[in-house]
């Protein structure tokens, strides 16, 4: 019996070994290389150890500060907005006798099939100065002159937030909807008998019961926002005047657009690593504790 | 009062649906208009479609890009499914403390921002002489901790008696995997295939770095370079966007159930 168990244990390793090696090779190894690189300076393929130089530069780098600020701004504004919207939509779609549910669900989920590049370019054309959105807003009298969406530092950020929300709200909604379907309807019935309003039920039953899944989507979205790249590059290319540039784009520019400086780019990239880790930890602390 | 509530809910959901669908309508309409008309916000079908298609084919190597995207996505998906399901099978069926620990470590890779590993990856592929090949686009995500996790989760409900029965019939572990596990897990493979295909098909940052010559580019790279040129032709770009979106849209409508299952897969 025991030898059979050991044999089965060894059998298992032959299935997990190759995939594990691949992950180590293409994720962990580069991650460690990146750390070494962040203590080096140089150009092209010649690098030398330069101690903390890159880290000193990092803290005095206005462009880095701008990129971090922009990224955090997207995070703080966009993620809560999107998760809340997703929750409300899911809550409505979970109403038992609501008509056209299937249509709404499909329509709201559909943005998820577009590639990030495609929808970013689509939004760029929709938000053009003489474009379709300004035309519509002008014709209903909501604005009196065209808004220069993508050339204004504030509006450009708004457009990016709107675009990301458009692409991902349906994705989060699906998670909430499937979790809501697991809540026993008798909980709501009991609350109704006790006289709790729909609004009250939403905040006192639905949200607390979905806590783990909200936490999950919050971590996924935070992770995604901290790595934001495709949308910004294709919508505004970081402009106007770096006002929409994200950390990922800055790293890309440092490595492949400006004179390549892989060492410093690696240093900047470790800033994201630290932010991802800290924020995930905080979210787990805040969201995971109470039951 | 109750009637009013339902009405308001429908109004809200219809508004959100229109906003969600509008860009799709926009790209279909835009594809039939000239660039100037798209930029001017013309929201009705025009007569420029064949003109736009002709220009797109002239300006880009669309056929090649479509082939590159397809090759990378199909080969990448097949390889990812085989490798990730092997690991998911191994970690779950032959569970030991050592393997659990290894899996825990592998999960850390999910938190690693791609921007932090792309430079060493770029140098690694450059040293291996693989830059500018489909292999470069495929390899880095050929096994992911997320997919392994996905298969592990779904393996929990796999009926293990089937394995015992197979062993009695004299099958070794690899044939159990290939002939018993794989066929039984078809729905899981379908869901995983859709998600993986989408990731490869839509990937942008890594191909942007790894594929640099014109004839190696994938569809998102073509769309992006068209739109970042000095005078972008939006009618042409809309055609390119529709070509890029159509395959994933088709997959979604044909396999809606598996599609959603794949998205939800990790949180059962």
Apex CA B247: angle with CA B46 and CA B83, to 5°? 160
Q: Is the pLDDT of residue A290 over 70?
A: no
* pLDDT classification of A45: cutoffs 50, 70, 90: low
Q: How far is CA A269 from CA A230, A275, B12, B113, B125, in A?
A: 17, 10, 41, 8, 19
Q: How far is CA B20 from CA A114, A116, A163, A213, B23, in A?
A: 11, 15, 11, 23, 7
A10 and A134 in a single domain? The answer is: no
Which one has a higher pLDDT value, A77 or A9? A77
Quote the pLDDT of residue B1: 40
d(CA A155, CA B75): 41
B114 min Cα distance to partner chain A (Å):
7
A242 and A152 in a single domain? The answer is: yes
Closest CB to A15: pick one of B23, B87, B209: B87
Quote the pLDDT of residue B268: 44
Using one digit for the tens of pLDDT, what is the confidence trace for A51-64?
Answer: 788 898 999 999 99
- Which of A278, A280, A252, A276 is closest to A266 using CA atoms? A252
A172 and A272 in a single domain? The answer is: yes
Residue A40 placed within a domain: no
By C-alpha distance, the chain A residue nearest B114 is: A227
Q: What is the CATH number of the domain that holds A199?
A: 1.10.3720.10
d(CA A74, CA A244): 9
A12 and A95 in a single domain? The answer is: no
Question: Which residues does chain B have within 8 Å of residue A106's beta carbon, measured at their own beta carbons?
Answer: 256
Chain-chain contact of B86 with A15 (C-beta, under 8 angstroms): yes
Chain-chain contact of A26 with B140 (C-beta, under 8 angstroms): yes
Residue A130 placed within a domain: yes
In this prediction, residues A66-88 reach a mean pLDDT of: 94
A59 Cβ under 8 Å from any chain B Cβ: no
Residue A244 placed within a domain: yes
A24 and A65 in a single domain? The answer is: no
Chain-chain contact of A131 with B40 (C-beta, under 8 angstroms): yes
A26 Cβ under 8 Å from any chain B Cβ: yes
Residues 6+ away with beta carbon under 8 Å from B129: none
Residue A90 placed within a domain: yes
Quote the pLDDT of residue B9: 92
Domain boundaries, position A21:
2-28
A210 min Cα distance to partner chain B (Å):
12
Fold of B61-267: MetI-like fold (1.10.3720)
A170 and A274 in a single domain? The answer is: yes
A24 and A127 in a single domain? The answer is: no
Residue A159 placed within a domain: yes
Question: Which residues does chain B have within 8 Å of residue A104's beta carbon, measured at their own beta carbons?
Answer: 13-14, 16-17
Quote the pLDDT of residue B92: 92
Residue A33 placed within a domain: no
* pLDDT classification of A31: cutoffs 50, 70, 90: very high
A6 Cβ under 8 Å from any chain B Cβ: no
Residue A36 placed within a domain: no
Is residue A86 a contact partner of residue A179, using CB atoms and an 8 Å limit? no
Quote the pLDDT of residue A258: 85
Using one digit for the tens of pLDDT, what is the confidence trace for A207-236?
Answer: 888 888 898 899 889 989 989 999 999 999
Quote the pLDDT of residue A130: 86
B177 Cβ under 8 Å from any chain A Cβ: yes
Is residue B242 a contact partner of residue B27, using CB atoms and an 8 Å limit? yes
Closest CB to B116: pick one of A26, A113, A273: A273
Chain-chain contact of A175 with B267 (C-beta, under 8 angstroms): yes
A15 and A122 in a single domain? The answer is: no
A24 and A66 in a single domain? The answer is: no
Number of domains in chain A: 2
CA A233, distance to chain mean position in Å, is 15
Question: Which residues does chain A have within 8 Å of residue B245's beta carbon, measured at their own beta carbons?
Answer: 113-115, 118
Chain-chain contact of A132 with B26 (C-beta, under 8 angstroms): yes
Q: Which residue ranges make up each domain of chain B?
A: 61-267
Using one digit for the tens of pLDDT, what is the confidence trace for A106-134?
Answer: 999 999 999 999 999 999 999 988 889 99
A177 and A102 in a single domain? The answer is: yes
Query: Is the ipTM, as predicted for this complex, more than 0.85?
Result: yes
Closest CB to B223: pick one of A104, A118, A247: A118
Low-confidence spans in chain B with pLDDT less than 50: 1, 268
d(CA B8, CA B22): 21
Quote the pLDDT of residue A5: 58
Q: Is the pLDDT of residue A1 over 50?
A: no
Closest CB to B41: pick one of A15, A31, A132: A132
Interface of B with A in 57-96 (CB under 8 A): 83-84, 86-87, 89-91, 93-96
A18 and A95 in a single domain? The answer is: no
A180 and A67 in a single domain? The answer is: yes
- Which of A282, A204, A249 is closest to A71 using CA atoms? A249
Closest CB to B20: pick one of A12, A110, A128: A110
Quote the pLDDT of residue A4: 55
């Amino acid at each position: 019996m025991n030898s059979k168990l050991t044999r089965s244990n060894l059998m298992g390793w032959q299935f997990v070994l190759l995939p594990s090696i691949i992950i180590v090779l293409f994720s962990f190894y580069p991650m460690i290389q990146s750390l070494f690189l962040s203590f080096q300076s140089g150009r092209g393929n010649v690098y030398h150890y330069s101690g903390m130089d890159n880290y000193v530069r990092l803290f005095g780098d206005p462009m880095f500060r701008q990129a971090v600020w922009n990224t955090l701004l997207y995070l703080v504004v966009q993620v809560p907005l999107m998760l809340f919207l997703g929750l409300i939509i899911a809550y409505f779609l979970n109403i038992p006798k609501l008509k056209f549910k299937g249509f709404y669900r499909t329509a709201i989920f559909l943005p998820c099939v577009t590639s990030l590049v495609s929808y970013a370019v689509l939004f760029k054309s929709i938000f053009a100065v003489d474009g379709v959105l300004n035309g519509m807003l002008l014709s209903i009298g909501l604005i009196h002159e065209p808004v220069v969406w993508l050339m204004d530092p504030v509006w450009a950020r708004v457009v990016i937030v709107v675009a990301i929300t458009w692409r991902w709200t349906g994705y989060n909604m699906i998670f909430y909807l499937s979790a809501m379907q697991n809540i026993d309807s008798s909980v709501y019935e009991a609350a109704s008998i006790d006289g709790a309003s729909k609004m009250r039920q939403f905040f006192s039953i639905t949200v607390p019961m979905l806590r783990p899944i909200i936490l999950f989507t919050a971590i996924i979205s935070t992770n995604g926002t901290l790595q934001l790249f495709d949308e910004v590059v294709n919508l505004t290319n970081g402009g106007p005047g770096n006002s929409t540039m994200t950390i990922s784009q800055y790293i890309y520019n440092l490595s492949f657009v400006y004179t390549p400086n892989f060492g410093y780019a690696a240093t900047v990239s470790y800033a994201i690593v630290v932010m991802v880790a800290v924020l995930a930890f905080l979210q787990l602390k805040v969201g995971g504790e109470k039951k | 009062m109750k009637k009013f509530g339902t009405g308001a809910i429908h109004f809200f959901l219809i508004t959100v649906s229109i906003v969600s669908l509008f860009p799709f309508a926009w790209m279909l309409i835009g594809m039939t208009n000239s660039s100037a008309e798209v930029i001017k916000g013309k929201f009705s079908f025009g007569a420029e479609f064949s003109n736009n298609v002709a220009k797109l084919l002239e300006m880009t190597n669309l056929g090649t890009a479509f082939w590159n995207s397809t090759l990378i996505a199909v080969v990448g998906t097949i390889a990812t499914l085989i490798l990730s399901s092997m690991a998911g099978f191994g970690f779950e069926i032959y569970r030991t403390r050592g393997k659990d620990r290894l899996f825990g470590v592998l999960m850390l890779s999910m938190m690693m921002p791609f921007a932090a590993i792309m430079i060493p990856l770029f140098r690694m592929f450059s040293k291996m002489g693989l830059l500018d090949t489909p292999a470069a686009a495929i390899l880095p995500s050929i096994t992911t901790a997320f997919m392994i996790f996905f298969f592990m989760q779904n393996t929990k409900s796999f009926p293990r008696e089937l394995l015992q029965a197979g062993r009695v019939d004299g099958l070794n572990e690899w044939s159990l995997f290939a002939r018993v596990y794989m066929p039984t897990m078809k729905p899981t493979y379908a869901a995983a295939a859709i998600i993986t295909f989408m990731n490869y098909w839509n990937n942008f940052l890594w191909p942007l770095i790894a594929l640099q010559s014109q004839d190696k580019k994938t569809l998102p790279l073509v769309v992006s370079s068209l739109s970042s040129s000095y005078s972008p032709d939006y009618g042409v770009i809309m055609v390119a966007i529709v070509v890029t979106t159509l395959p994933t849209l088709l997959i979604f409508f044909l396999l809606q159930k598996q599609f959603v299952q794949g998205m939800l897969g990790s949180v059962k």
